[in-house]
Structure 1
Amino acid sequence: MRRLQYRYLTAALAASLLAASSASAETLYIEAGRLIDGVTNDVRTGQCLTVARDRIAAVGPCGAAPEGATRLDWSAFTVLPGLIDLHTHLADLGQSADLAAPIKASPAETALVGARNARVTLEAGFTSVRDVGTYRGLTDVALRNAIERGDVPGPRMWVAGAYITIPKGGGELNGVIPNEDLPSDMRLGVAATPDEAAAKTAYLLDQGADFIKTIATGAVLAIGTEPGAPELTVDQLRAVVKVAHSRGKKVTAHAHGAEGIKNAIRAGVDSIEHASLADEEALQLAKTHGTWLAMDIYNGDYIDEIGTKEGWPAEYLRKNRETTDAQRAAFRRAVELGVNIGYATDAGVYPHGLNARQFRNMVRYGMTPMQAIQSATGRAAEEMGRDDVGAIVPGRYADLVAVRADPLADITALEKIDHVMKGGMLVR
């Protein structure tokens, strides 16, 4: 009860502050104790941020607040850009032992679950996400639009709409009913030929997808597919890339196996999800092409522990064991080679709001704390091709987090965010 009362009190105080800032030309003057900007290696003290409406207007040494501005004292905190997760599944039910769960939930119910997921993700300090697919196609588009309208609280979302996958591939809901009998919104991206892949890509973009997610290999969490086995062909992948790039949109590829990773890179995709079984040739190819890797090196532990406890399919648990350690070794080597790496967790496999747990593994497997932070701020924005998020510099959205502990001394400090701001609005 006390915790609930505290949350209500915090919300009321935040509302009062926001009302005050709105009444004073919507300007905030934020005093940071330590400032990490997300793009440089500097840690600055004595810095103040001027926030005008939803953007950062200025960053510089503290002094007198601009006339009419509301001063916000975060001098006891390290202030960073709002965090970015490049691999989430907000608009979905989450992983469980029940293979049929996605089909049991209606699109409306799935969207409502997504709204809850969005709120807890934002409160955890992740002010932007790339949402990389949902079984109920286009539910993510609806959730993104609701957040943008202000109907529900949540992070900025860039969404895929659905998976481009072969029939019965890693992007299908296999093992429940015959795939041909699945609802049509669960098969929006199923493609058997290059022409079908191109057509499905165009359709998803027409329906509001921000980028395209392809399934280049089998999946760990899909019945009847193997992570090391290629699925979409090079020609299919090229057809997707051609359509998406012609519209200025990026393409990412779910790819665990080395051959599928190389197929996707040679086809021109912009990023690879998972990259669990990447060999030296695949990593060197990624470095040569500038292809980004989005490697979820935390959730293997969660799948093994909770999946075993809850009775997830034995096939899932076996494939997870076969990929977890290999993926972490590939991650370490990718860091050594200087391959582009963005922060990507696969939240939805484990509970939303725990996204920051991956930071500790990124440091454990080769990154410095600053590199890990940048992977979820400036570097993540770079991977998405965005110049409006991910950094504390003038002109970008005033998406900020504040932590009392020093994340450079203990990266797990980011698992306990004290304050969150999105677009100049205090979330908590």
Structure 2
Amino acid sequence: MMNYLIRSKKLVTVSHLGTLIHGAMVIENGKIAEIGRFESLKEKFPDLDVIDCSEYVITPSLVDCHTHLLEFAPTSLYPVTPETHFAAGKAILFQALAAGITALGEQICGHPLCDFSKEDYQKAVLDLPLDVSFATTSISIGFENLAHFTAITQSRGVTQYDLSDPVLVQMIAHESDYPGENIFINATPANFTVKEVPRAGEIIYNLKELKKIVKIYHQAGKQIGAHVAGEEGINLALEAGIDVLHHAHGITDEQIDIAAKQGVAIVATPMGGTHLQPNSPEEILKFVQKNIPVSISTDSYLPPYLKTSWLPFQDQALKGPDVLMLIAEPAMQLLKKHHYDENEILALLTDNPAKLLGKGNTFGRLEPGLDANFLAAEGIPGLEITEIDQIKNVFYKGVKVIDRK
């Protein structure tokens, strides 16, 4: 069905149109053509087939802008070889799709067991109903002997000195689609146990090196994002002119003010991802109150940080994109208590990450001209529902790709 009219109990657009009770959309050739009340659109387009979702809430589909599903997750979750790596990767991506996610921001960091290029990853997703953007990065892992890799050098490790090499930095910047974890200001624990990564959190760069790297990205017309946590590391990021802080765990109120003044975006990861306690609901509220563009992401696959009041997990089993709504809910509920509109709140899982990926004019909201990427669910994702079974249909470019009815 190329062209149709779809009706809802409630349409949450995350746009200037706000929420429409008994709202509907005209879908033409994979795009949203018109939005309005069902009765008026039915009268205007009497010949269009109708998809009846009048028992469900329709919202934009979800965007997880910080994941490691294609490079690190297959080797972490499955006994893969290079020959079966992408078979596992596609299975993982399908799980994300089934969880209501139709757009991903993937990090390509370089992996000791994988010699795949960005082009290899791009080919792997070509036939999937997903929009995947790739951030090419370097990475420092906090083993006893720090390990450094890059998207360009793939499985060949590099030295700490190489991470600031202008030629290598230019190559990484040139390949990157969006400001993901382009550099790791702190060594990462990745998804290893604490004992395996005793140097997680160690600062890798000095201010002079960071300023040179930022300049290379900006001269290439690119924004730069950084994995960063802790007051010292965040100070370095802000002073160097980093555009997007990924994690920013341990950020101070003063640093939040500086980030707001500098127009810095933040990708909050309430499940973990650094050596420090992850972003709390109260911290995410502060970001929003300061008008910082904030996205909530999973950084999956990841073991959840156990010592928090907002995560429900009882063990450190690796968690994936299927928990995006669950880990976002505490912050989203807190925003609701502070009288934020449901459209503003849902933007943290839809419009804000879409804009971070550079795709804000393509998806992330429901408005005419954008791709018809949307969900029909029992409630608003992350605000009223957290279980993926409560998402009944997922549409990608107007095509129903998940059906739980």
Identity %: 17
Aligned to 1:276: 249
Q: For the aligned residues, what is the CA RMSD?
A: 3.4
**1:419 partner amino acid:** N
Aligned runs of 1:25-36 on 2, under 5 Å? 26-36=2-12
**2:301 partner amino acid:** G
Picking from 80, 92, 101, the partner of 1:117 is 92
Aligned runs of 1:337-348 on 2, under 5 Å? 337-348=290-301
In 1, the alpha carbon distance for the partners of 2:177 and 2:383 equals 39
- The Cα offsets for residues 359-408 of structure 1, whole Å up to 9 and x where unpaired, read as 21223554655443111112222333321110111111110011123558
Distance 1:342 1:409, change over 3 A: closer
In 2, the alpha carbon distance for the partners of 1:408 and 1:160 equals 26
Picking from 82, 86, 92, the partner of 2:71 is 92
**2:6 partner amino acid:** I
- The Cα offsets for residues 249-277 of structure 1, whole Å up to 9 and x where unpaired, read as 33210001122122122222221111111
**When the two structures are aligned, how many residues end up with a matched partner?**
367
Verify the 8 A CA contact 1:84 1:127 in the aligned structure 2: yes
Question: Is 1:129 aligned with 2:104?
Answer: yes
**1:90 partner amino acid:** L
Q: TM-score, normalised by structure 2?
A: 0.78
Aligned runs of 1:284-295 on 2, under 5 Å? 284-295=257-268
Picking from 7, 12, 20, the partner of 1:44 is 20
**1:58 partner amino acid:** E
Aligned runs of 1:8-407 on 2, under 5 Å? 21=1, 26-40=2-16, 42-61=18-37, 62-64=41-43, 66=45, 69-94=48-73, 105-134=80-109, 135=111, 136=114, 138=116, 141-147=119-125, 149-150=126-127, 153-161=128-136, 163-165=137-139, 169-170=140-141, 174=143, 184-187=153-156, 192=161, 196=165, 198-207=166-175, 209-211=177-179, 213-221=182-190, 223-227=197-201, 229-297=202-270, 299-300=271-272, 319=275, 322-324=276-278, 327=280, 330-349=283-302, 350-364=319-333, 366=335, 368=340, 370-386=343-359, 387-405=361-379
Distance 1:258 1:34, change over 3 A: same
In 2, the alpha carbon distance for the partners of 1:401 and 1:251 equals 31
In 2, the alpha carbon distance for the partners of 1:179 and 1:383 equals 26
**2:168 partner amino acid:** K
Q: From the two aligned structures, give the one with the greater helix fraction.
A: 1
In 2, the alpha carbon distance for the partners of 1:188 and 1:422 equals 38
- The DSSP-based 3-state class of the residue aligned with 1:339 is coil
Aligned to 2:392: 418
Verify the 8 A CA contact 2:354 2:364 in the aligned structure 1: yes
Distance 1:199 1:336, change over 3 A: same
Provide structure 1 residue ranges, at least 5 long, that are not aligned to the other structure.
Answer: 1-20, 304-315
Residue 201 (structure 1) shift? 3.3
Distance 1:364 1:230, change over 3 A: farther
- The DSSP-based 3-state class of the residue aligned with 1:159 is strand
Distance 1:408 1:414, change over 3 A: same
In 2, the alpha carbon distance for the partners of 1:339 and 1:380 equals 12
Aligned to 2:313: none
Aligned to 1:4: none
Distance 1:410 1:192, change over 3 A: same
In 2, the alpha carbon distance for the partners of 1:390 and 1:189 equals 37
In 2, the alpha carbon distance for the partners of 1:247 and 1:425 equals 36
Residue 73 (structure 1) shift? 1.2
- The Cα offsets for residues 52-73 of structure 1, whole Å up to 9 and x where unpaired, read as 2121122123324747643211
In 1, the alpha carbon distance for the partners of 2:147 and 2:287 equals 40
Distance 1:362 1:346, change over 3 A: same
- The DSSP-based 3-state class of the residue aligned with 1:265 is helix
In 2, the alpha carbon distance for the partners of 1:343 and 1:334 equals 11
**2:199 partner amino acid:** T
Verify the 8 A CA contact 1:141 1:208 in the aligned structure 2: no
- The Cα offsets for residues 299-357 of structure 1, whole Å up to 9 and x where unpaired, read as 24xx9xxxxxxxxxxxx9xx4xx524x75553343344333211211121113433222
